[in-house]
Each structure stands twice: as structure tokens, then as C-alpha cells.
Chain A
Amino acid sequence: MLARRRPAGPGPTALLLVALLAAEARASWLIRRPLSPSGPELRQAARAALHFFNYRAASPSTVRVLKEVLNGTALIREEGENIKVAFSIESYRTENSQLGTCSALVGFKDHKSRPTVNISCTPLLDQKERKKEDYKLYKQIKQLETPPFETTIPGKLGDMDPSLQPLWELAMIGNSFLMWEKTTSTSSYYYVQQITNIKKWIRPDDFIILHYRLLLHEFRTQEIISCHLHLVWHPEKPSKTQYHCQDSGTQENGSGNSEGSGFL
């Protein structure tokens, strides 16, 4: 048997080259991570996506509510995560009892809010129906007398006067913008509990201006945050939202503003 000479080991230069190449490759690696449909990450992504959708659609008569997360995966990048998620939704207006599905790609940047969202949902109503319903609500709000300053929607018993429901539905557009902006990756999520101190104007160009105070429930800390929100809306034109929140413990202020389109 011929003795074999062991091949020479890689020289130091070769080692350095391999190390450099590996580092280069790792930077652009996208690690795919399967996620449980009942897990918190997918739920968080679905929430952020739906808030974004509701605010961009700016259609108070077809606000959607999350029903069930169906499936999804996470793609881990250096600066955060992209989460692909599919979920079922239902119409906020339970009397319609319509169902639908959405699929979205949500980009969370590490510890930064305002996740990027790319989303498409099945329509709840056809475009003509939706326009009709939004205009109906628009007329109701125009004709409505502004409720007294101390009126809360809902009331403390969870009651909502039917005449005030259009205001609550319109406010959900502004609330959705606020909740989307504040939703970070897996740390916090928010729900609006109540609105009050409602002021309503009609601008000369027929836009409705709604200004109100809202109580936001932050789930992880269980804190209630008071915010003021200013919403400018018209059924067929881009809407605009501005808000200013006061953090209960730290007096920290957060604010933001945006434009949402009339339809998607």
C-alpha cells in the first residue's frame, strides 16, 4: 500500500479569504423561520397590517376586524424581520356578517414603530355598494348635532347610541392610523377603548373634520394612554390624520400625521 501524503492544509491566506466570503454571504442571507399561526408574532403582524389597511382604505362602512390568523413565516433580516401573514377578517358591522381574507407582508425594524405594510384583502362590498354606504355615513355625520363635550363613545356600560355610531366608525379610521404607527415588532400592541370631547366641523370644501380625545390601552404594560386626534375625511378623497399622545407615567409625547387615500 502506497503511503499517501496528507494534502497540505489551507494556508493562512486561503483561510482569510473563506472568512471574508462567509461574512459577505451572511449579510445577505435571509433566514426563513416558520411561525405558529396561534403564536404572538403572526398575530402582531396581522394586527399591524390590518390597522394599516383600515386607515389607508379610509372607508368607515367597511372597517375590518381580525378573525383568525391562518399561516405565515418570518424572514429575518439584519435590521429586523419581514413577516408574511395570511389571516381571515370580518366586517366590524356585525349585521353584515361578511367574511374575507387578507395577505400581507409586514416589515418590522428592530424596536422602531411604523412597520412597513404591503397588504391586499378580499373586498367586503363591491365598490358601488361601499361608496353608497360611505356616503350614507358621511351624510349622517354632516347632519348630526355634535354631542356634548363629556359624551363618551362607548359609554361606561359599553353602550353606544345608534345615532353616535357613525362617529365611532369614522374615528376608527384615525384610530387605525395611530395604532398602526405605534405597533412595534413583538413588544406592544394597542386598542382604543373610548373617545370623548368630540368636535366636528364641515370645511368649505365639504371635508368632515373630527377632533377628539381617545383612551388607548397598551396591552403589554396595561397602561391607558390619553391622546388627541385630528381627522380630516371625505368619502372619495385622501384623508389626513394627526395625533398627539401623552404617556401617563413619563409625560413623553408622541405624535404623527399622515395621508390616507380615499379608496384602495
Chain B
Amino acid sequence: MPMAAGGPALLRLIMRGLPILSFLLTVAFSQKMFSGDQVLRIRAKDQKQLQLLRNLEDSEDLKVDFWHAPARPSLPVDMRVPFSNLNAVKNYLNSSGISYTIMIKDIQVLLDEEKKGMSSSRRLERSTSSFRYNAYHTLEEIYTWMDNLVAEHSDLVSKIMIGQTFEKRPIFVLKFSTGNKSRPAIWIDSGIHAREWITQATGVWTAMKIVTDCGEEPVLTNILNHMDIFLEVVTNPDGFAYTHSTNRLWRKNRAVNSNSTCKGVDPNRNWDAGFGGVGSSNNPCSETYHGPFPHSEPEVASIANFIQKHKHFKALMSIHSYSQMLLYPYGYRKEPTLDNEELHNLACKAVEALSQVHGTDYIYGRAISTIYVANGITIDWAYEHDIKYSFSFELRDTGIYGFLLPASQIIPTAEETWPAILTIMKHAYKNPY
């Protein structure tokens, strides 16, 4: 580096240092990262306005984050706008004649209120090392643990808010990354069905496992040197809160359905893959109600938009219970995918790795023939959106306790599931496409 003395070189040095400085500042004030950010709701009148909105999305500088992407006119478009770009975005909308309402005036206020609620609740763990992984936890406890995890391992983990539920709870995803550029990525979600408590608990343990093994265990470390992992521990926060407060066996989200007193849409029937077929119900009172249209539910739309915007997801694992199965697409069609043989062999390896831990038997196969026909499921959508390695886990047990799995089985379940997850991640890493 030429050591030129004087003004211009110094300026260049400062310019180079600015991004680092602002990054440091952001990290230091990471608790207030969303201060002043707003969520705007827009109803585009016609295709022209929709296109103008899409242009916004493509603008790298404005950093607009769509929670409900521009799809059709008359469908609401929700977008989070960073505080620093609010004026620019609003000017753009005004001058284009696009009307909007402010859905959330200040996201940070929302998050602070959420935090206040959490600190007044019982049993707040101070650090992730004192967190009881062998017990079931409330939403507040898991969200607190998440913040602790990020704080303690900020070099590896960050928390991203990808959306907001029907009842206005934030939806968080943990990002595990050792790089600073967009890398090929792996998606894991747990708790899309509220009552499947073993899954959120397994998600929590798995996050802890990743931070523990990164830098220590060669396979995971190698994967994380080339790929990012995104883990959404509580994919259905409203439903999960409801299982704690009111009905332990609640499955769906807590959407209010028009023309019915029955609440909730099954988030695992709401995906845009064979939507609305016989493997789902059009009755709002049903446990498999698919909702009014694909991705109508924020829990689903937020993930779909995030994944599509990222563009580099290579594997997706959606965690459910119970049945002890490992499933791959399709759930909605009888025909196997073009990658059937590869997926079958990979599932075989993953299940074998799982059984080595505690001797637990899993069945594996295509969803439609192994479990039942199901329309609008996560893994079918993922597969049809170029994520070849899409798998659905059904964790313990096979029906003795079902959804009410004793807490003593949390750690054994998580321990055995981990090698299966690792097998799939390793295969995705070693077989780029």
C-alpha cells in the first residue's frame, strides 16, 4: 500500500474505515437496530403501481424489506423501511401516486414493549449456559435466550426479524455466518405447528449445538466456512403462545377467518405448491385449513419472501412431530421428483446417522406415500423454488405420548436429530448446484 503522505491518502483511509466504523457502531447499538424503522402497508391499484413497487425492491440503496411482497393489485403489500430511507421512500410513493398507511410507526417501540413484557415474566435466564435445555419454555423465555445467544456469540450469530404475526408478534430468524458476503445457505425451521413442542425445543438445542461445535468440530466448521445457516426456532409464535396460555393442542396460527368463528390457518398447507387440493381443507374450522390464498399467512409469506430474496438457499429442513419420519417431496403429487433417487439415498444416510445415537427407528420416503397426501406444504414449495434438498422431519415419538412428549426426551431427541441434519448439510455443501 503506497504510503503517500498528505490529504488525499488520509481521506482515502478515512473512507475505507467508515464502513468498518459504522459497522462497529451498529454492533454497539445493536439493541436499537430498528429504531425509527416503519412498516408501511400499500395497496397497489394496478400493474403499473405494482411494477413501481418492484422497482423499489430492486433498489439496493433503499434497503426496503418486503414482508408481503408485491403480488397482485388489491393485495396488501407490507414493507419495512429503514429509518434513514423513510423520506426517500415516502417521496417516491407520493410522487408515483401510490397511497400507503403506516402499519407500524416504530418497530423498535414494538420490540421494546415485547422486551418489557419478557422481563416482567418469571424465570429470566441470564445467559445461555444457565438455560435449561432439558425443559420446555415459553415464547418469552426463548426470545430472551435468543438475545443472550446473539450477545454471547455475536461473531457467529445474528438475529433477523423477517416479519410480524397476525397478533403482531415479531418473527425472528437466527443467522449463523462466518463470512460477510452472501453465501449459499441452509434453512431450518421448527415450530411451524404450535403443539409440536419437541420441535421448538430441538431448535433451541440445535442453535446451541451450532455455536458450540463451530470452530471445534471439523464437519460443521467446514460447512460454516462456505455456507450460512438460518434457523427459525419459533415459526408460529402466536400459535405457540396460545398452546401455553389456552390450548396445549393448538396446531395452526391465530388468524381471524372471515365468515367463521373458527380461528387459524394451517401454515403447512398455505404454501404455493399444489395449494388447495385434497390434502388440505377449505373449512376454517379444520386443522388443515389452507387459508384464503397461497402465502396469505404472515408466518409463511415472511419465509417465502426471505428465501426468494436471498436467492442462494441450497437445503431446507422443516421440523415437525410426531411419527419418527424423514420425508422429501412431493406431498401433493404422486409422481416422484426428478431427484428422487438422490433424495432417497440421502434420507437413508441421514436416518442411519440418527439411529446410531440412541437406537431410534425412523421411516423415510416421499411425503405422499409415507405419511399422507398433503397440499401446500413447505418442502414442496421449496423444491419447486430450486431448493433441491428439501426435507421434513417428524420427530419423536410414534404415538405413546405424541405431542405431549416428556421433557426428559428433549435432549436425546435433539442429540439424535443433529447428525441427520448434519448429514443433509454436508451433502448440500459437497454437491453444489
Tell whether, in the assembled complex, residue A221 and residue B401 are in contact, meaning their CB atoms are under 8 Å apart.
Answer: no
Tell whether, in the assembled complex, residue B406 and residue A154 are in contact, meaning their CB atoms are under 8 Å apart.
Answer: yes
Which parts of A210-240 form the interface with B (CB within 8 Å)? Answer: 215, 217, 219-224
Which of A40, A159, A219, A223 makes the CB contact (< 8 A) with B407?
A159
Nearest chain-B residue to A215 (Cβ)? B249
A249→B363 CA distance, assembly (Å):
31
A39→B369 CA distance, assembly (Å):
8
Looking at chain B's contact residues, the main secondary structure is: loop
Tell whether, in the assembled complex, residue A249 and residue B406 are in contact, meaning their CB atoms are under 8 Å apart.
Answer: no
Q: Which residues of B contact A217 (CB under 8 A)?
A: 249, 402-403
Q: Is B404 an interface residue (CB 8 A)?
A: yes
Q: Is A66 an interface residue (CB 8 A)?
A: yes
Tell whether, in the assembled complex, residue B406 and residue A160 are in contact, meaning their CB atoms are under 8 Å apart.
Answer: yes
A155→B136 CA distance, assembly (Å):
12
Tell whether, in the assembled complex, residue A223 and residue B370 are in contact, meaning their CB atoms are under 8 Å apart.
Answer: no
Which parts of B260-302 form the interface with A (CB within 8 Å)? Answer: 266, 281, 283, 285-288
Tell whether, in the assembled complex, residue B370 and residue A222 are in contact, meaning their CB atoms are under 8 Å apart.
Answer: no
Q: Is A193 an interface residue (CB 8 A)?
A: yes
Which of B286, B369, B402 makes the CB contact (< 8 A) with A249?
B286
Tell whether, in the assembled complex, residue A154 and residue B372 are in contact, meaning their CB atoms are under 8 Å apart.
Answer: no
A249 and B285 contact, Cβ closer than 8 Å, known pairs A160-B406, A194-B404: yes
Q: Which residues of B contact A155 (CB under 8 A)?
A: 404
Residue interface mask A248-262, B partner, CB < 8 A = 1:
110000000000000
> How far is the CB of A198 from the nearest CB of chain B, in Å?
16
Tell whether, in the assembled complex, residue B402 and residue A67 are in contact, meaning their CB atoms are under 8 Å apart.
Answer: no
A92 and B400 contact, Cβ closer than 8 Å, known pairs A157-B136, A160-B406, A221-B288: yes
A193→B288 CA distance, assembly (Å):
19
Q: Which residues of A contact B281 (CB under 8 A)?
A: 221
A92→B398 CA distance, assembly (Å):
12
Q: Is A68 an interface residue (CB 8 A)?
A: yes
Instruction: Count A/B pairs, Cβ under 8 Å.
Output: 69
> How far is the CB of A51 from the nearest CB of chain B, in Å?
10
Q: Which residues of A contact B365 (CB under 8 A)?
A: 38
Q: Is A158 an interface residue (CB 8 A)?
A: yes
> How far is the CB of B351 from the nearest CB of chain A, in Å?
11
Residue interface mask B232-275, A partner, CB < 8 A = 1:
00000000000100001101000000000000001000000000
Q: Which residues of B contact A219 (CB under 8 A)?
A: 372
Tell whether, in the assembled complex, residue B407 and residue A157 are in contact, meaning their CB atoms are under 8 Å apart.
Answer: yes
Tell whether, in the assembled complex, residue B287 and residue A38 are in contact, meaning their CB atoms are under 8 Å apart.
Answer: no
Q: Is B147 an interface residue (CB 8 A)?
A: no
Tell whether, in the assembled complex, residue B361 and residue A68 are in contact, meaning their CB atoms are under 8 Å apart.
Answer: yes
A244→B273 CA distance, assembly (Å):
38
A249→B53 CA distance, assembly (Å):
42
A253→B1 CA distance, assembly (Å):
83
Tell whether, in the assembled complex, residue A193 and residue B361 are in contact, meaning their CB atoms are under 8 Å apart.
Answer: no
> How far is the CB of B397 from the nearest CB of chain A, in Å?
9
Q: Is B97 an interface residue (CB 8 A)?
A: no
Tell whether, in the assembled complex, residue B363 and residue A38 are in contact, meaning their CB atoms are under 8 Å apart.
Answer: yes
Nearest chain-A residue to B252 (Cβ)? A222
A191 and B402 contact, Cβ closer than 8 Å, known pairs A158-B407, A221-B286, A249-B286: yes
Q: Is B215 an interface residue (CB 8 A)?
A: no
A193 and B403 contact, Cβ closer than 8 Å, known pairs A40-B370, A224-B249: yes
A221→B278 CA distance, assembly (Å):
11
Q: Is A156 an interface residue (CB 8 A)?
A: yes
A156→B372 CA distance, assembly (Å):
27
Nearest chain-B residue to A38 (Cβ)? B363
Nearest chain-B residue to A37 (Cβ)? B363
Tell whether, in the assembled complex, residue A193 and residue B398 are in contact, meaning their CB atoms are under 8 Å apart.
Answer: no
Q: Is A76 an interface residue (CB 8 A)?
A: no
> How far is the CB of A14 from the nearest CB of chain B, in Å?
42
Q: Output the residue of A39, A158, A219, A220 with the most chain B CB within 10 A.
A: A158
> How far is the CB of B342 from the nearest CB of chain A, in Å?
19
Tell whether, in the assembled complex, residue A220 and residue B372 are in contact, meaning their CB atoms are under 8 Å apart.
Answer: yes
Q: Is B179 an interface residue (CB 8 A)?
A: no
Q: Is B399 an interface residue (CB 8 A)?
A: yes
> How far is the CB of B372 from the nearest CB of chain A, in Å?
6
B interface vs A, CB < 8 Å?
135-136, 197, 243, 248-249, 251, 266, 281, 283, 285-288, 361, 363-365, 369-372, 398-407, 409
Besides A65-B398, A158-B401, 20 other A-B contacts (C-beta < 8 A): A40-B369, A92-B400, A154-B404, A156-B248, A157-B135, A158-B404, A158-B409, A159-B406, A159-B407, A191-B399, A191-B400, A191-B402, A193-B249, A193-B403, A194-B248, A194-B249, A194-B404, A221-B287, A222-B288, A223-B287
> Could you give 11 example pairs across A and B, Cβ below 8 Å?
A39-B369, A40-B371, A157-B135, A157-B136, A157-B404, A158-B401, A158-B407, A158-B409, A191-B402, A217-B403, A222-B251
A interface vs B, CB < 8 Å?
38-40, 65-68, 92, 154-160, 191, 193-194, 215, 217, 219-224, 248-249
